[in-house]
């Protein structure tokens, strides 16, 4: 719905996002501004653009995109915010390489289709940029993920995957509860991406999501590219919104790690069924064979003995839910029924309304910044991930979500594809930290700063 309303209101979006220069966040006359560039200013990139424009500590010097409509909306957002127009790079799919030649760039934010991420990240690192904030997924193949890790290590660069769900208010309250041992020792966790994307995968962009059955060249926004992944791939194509929070709960790469993984995928019916019902059996998209099973289920075992269950479910009618479950020796949270049960505190065998627990354990970051986060994307959580990234750049610190986190979370996709391809075999999970997970300490959201 958020995306839909964003698109529907595209014409007035810039006006709605206007922030007076005098009311900018983080204004400090003595501070050097972070010099930032952006590759990809589509719908997601525009969320990030909005947040960068609100900040006085960011000097946006270049943006690159190949879509004139996306560029036009972005330019109008910049003008309305009263900011200096950055250099615009466009014209061909490698125009961003020219932008990487700009001098003294502190950071780049990449919000392009998945298949571009690895190349754009590695090239940015090789161009000397030390902070890379990339939208979810480092790349496509396992080799892509290794390539990014190796490049970051070789050049001492920081690659931060901008996984915003880690900052959802309830997710962070649960993190607070986990750290205060409310659930006891964690045993089992669940999450996933359960989001009816049919209107996103088929979208002609003429009006809003929900129009048409087109994709590829005739599609718009994610229908231009994301749908191809549903044609050619089968696995958990989008694990990071579910696994990011879970990884923080059980300190993955920081005292714990993923050990092995096994995936199953159901039959693929939903996308074809949608096209036939909406546009008829003669529509060109009805002739396409989709490889992506409608519900992919992945199990992961961890070094400290926890099990994780992830589900990817984007092709069937359903309300949105990331399906979180965090279960320990003293109780559990399940987000689908908004319930928490803690033995000795909740009535036996009864759920408490989770909100009463969330109010009590609201994370210090939300207590401090919720007014600034208000109005930013996805219920405010988008503010926090950009805030953490930009503060890390300013302080020349490692971001709290680093390249090892990004690689481990992203690797679930190619590993799940391989498991399915090999008849649901259990596969060893690579250790991108090369043993350092045993010594690394948790750093994510330890206080109320960022
Ligand atoms: P989009 O299609 O709306 O935007 C992608 C943009 O990249 C388009 O404007 C396109 O023209 C541009 N692009 C493509 N190839 C390019 C190239 N070679 N050079 C420059 N620009 C290029 O898609 P989106 O929804 O903005 O998704 C972008 C990324 O953000 C994806 O990784 C997606 O998974 C992620 N995303 C994350 C969230 C979240 O909540 N974290 C939400 C939506 C999307």
**Residues 264, 424: contact at Cβ < 8 Å?**
yes
> Which residue owns the Cα nearest ligand 1 atom 31?
113
What is the signed CA dihedral for 192, 382, 49, 66, rounded to 10 degrees? 0
pLDDT tens by residue, 328-370:
999 999 999 999 999 999 999 999 999 999 999 999 999 999 9
Instruction: Find out whether the beta carbon of 88 lies less than 6 Å from any atom of ligand 1.
Output: no
Does pLDDT of 103 surpass 90?
yes
Q: Domain coordinates of the chain in residue numbers? A: 3-164, 166-363+403-438
Separation of first and last alpha carbons in the chain: 28
User: What's the CA-to-centroid distance between 291 and ligand 1, angstroms?
Assistant: 22
What's the angle, vertex CA 65, arms to CA 64 and CA 70, rounded to 5?
Answer: 125
Position 209 confidence tier, pLDDT thresholds 50, 70, 90: confident
Lowest-confidence region among 9-18, 31-40, 291-300: 9-18
Does pLDDT of 10 surpass 50?
no
The correct CATH number of 166-363+403-438 out of 2.40.10.220, 3.30.360.10, 3.40.1160.10, 1.50.10.20 is 3.30.360.10
User: What's the CA-to-centroid distance between 136 and ligand 1, angstroms?
Assistant: 10
pLDDT tens by residue, 163-188:
999 999 999 999 999 999 999 999 99
Does pLDDT of 17 surpass 70?
no
What's the angle, vertex CA 112, arms to CA 129 and CA 429, rounded to 5?
Answer: 80
Mean pLDDT of 182-208: 92
Q: Residue 19: its pLDDT value, please?
A: 38
Does pLDDT of 389 surpass 60?
yes
Q: Residue 29: its pLDDT value, please?
A: 62
**Residues 246, 308: contact at Cβ < 8 Å?**
yes
| Domain boundaries 3-164, corresponding CATH code | 3.40.50.720
CA distance 248 to 368: 21
User: What's the CA-to-centroid distance between 112 and ligand 1, angstroms?
Assistant: 4
Q: Residue 7: its pLDDT value, please?
A: 37
CA distance 310 to 292: 16
Q: Which regions of 303-398 does DSSP assign to beta strands (E)?
A: 307-313, 325-328, 331-334, 339-342, 352-353
Does pLDDT of 5 surpass 70?
no
CA distance 175 to 169: 10
* Common-topology check for domains 3-164 and 166-363+403-438: no
Q: Residue 378: its pLDDT value, please?
A: 86
pTM of the model: 0.95
Mean pLDDT, rounded, of the chain: 93
Q: Give the relative orientation of helices 43-54 and 10-17 as an angle to the nearest 10 degrees.
A: 20
Q: Residue 30: its pLDDT value, please?
A: 67
Q: Residue 15: its pLDDT value, please?
A: 30
**Residues 84, 106: contact at Cβ < 8 Å?**
no
Does pLDDT of 109 surpass 90?
yes
Q: What Cα–Cα distance (Å) separates residue 217 from each residue in 8, 155, 194?
A: 21, 37, 26
Does pLDDT of 199 surpass 70?
yes
- Locus of tokens 């009590």: 360
């Amino acid at each position: 719905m958020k995306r839909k309303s964003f698109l529907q209101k595209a014409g007035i979006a810039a006006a709605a996002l206007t922030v007076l220069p005098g009311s900018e966040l983080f204004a400090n006359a003595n501070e050097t501004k972070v010099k930032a560039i952006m590759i990809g200013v589509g719908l997601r990139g525009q969320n990030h653009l909005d947040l960068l424009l609100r900040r006085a500590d960011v000097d946006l010097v270049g943006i690159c995109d190949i879509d004139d409509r996306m560029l036009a909306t972005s330019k109008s957002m910049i003008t309305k915010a009263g900011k200096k127009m950055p250099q615009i790079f466009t014209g061909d799919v490698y125009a961003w390489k020219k932008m990487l030649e700009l001098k003294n760039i502190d950071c780049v934010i990449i919000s392009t289709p998945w298949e571009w991420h690895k190349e754009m990240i590695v090239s940015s690192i090789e161009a000397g940029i030390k902070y890379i904030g990339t939208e979810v997924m480092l790349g496509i193949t396992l080799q892509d993920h290794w390539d990014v890790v190796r490049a970051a290590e070789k050049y001492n660069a920081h690659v931060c995957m901008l996984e915003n769900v880690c900052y959802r208010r309830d997710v962070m309250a649960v993190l607070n509860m986990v750290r205060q041992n409310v659930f006891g020792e964690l045993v089992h966790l669940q999450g996933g991406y359960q989001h009816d994307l049919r209107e996103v995968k088929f979208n002609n962009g003429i009006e809003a999501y929900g129009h048409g059955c087109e994709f590829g060249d005739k599609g718009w926004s994610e229908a231009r590219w994301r749908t191809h992944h549903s044609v050619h791939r089968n696995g958990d194509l989008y694990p990071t919104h579910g696994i990011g929070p879970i990884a923080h709960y059980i300190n993955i790469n920081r005292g714990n790690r993923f050990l092995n993984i096994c995936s199953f995928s159901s039959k693929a019916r939903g996308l074809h069924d949608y096209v036939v019902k909406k546009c008829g059996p003669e529509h060109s998209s009805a002739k396409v064979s989709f490889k992506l099973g409608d519900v992919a289920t992945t199990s992961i075992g961890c070094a400290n003995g926890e099990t994780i269950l992830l589900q990817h479910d984007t092709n069937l009618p359903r309300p949105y839910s990331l399906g979180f479950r965090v279960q320990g020796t003293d109780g559990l949270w399940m987000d689908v029924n908004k319930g928490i049960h803690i033995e000795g505190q909740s009535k036996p065998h009864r759920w408490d309304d989770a909100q009463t627990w969330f109010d009590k354990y609201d994370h210090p970051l939300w207590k401090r910044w919720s007014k600034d986060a208000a109005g930013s994307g996805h219920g405010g959580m988008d503010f926090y991930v950009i805030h953490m990234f930009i503060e890390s750049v300013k302080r020349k610190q490692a971001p709290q979500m680093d390249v090892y986190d990004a690689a481990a979370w992203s690797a679930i996709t190619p590993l799940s594809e391989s498991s399915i391809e090999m008849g649901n075999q259990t596969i060893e999970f690579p250790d991108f930290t090369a043993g350092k997970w045993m010594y690394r300490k948790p750093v994510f959201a330890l206080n109320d700063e960022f």
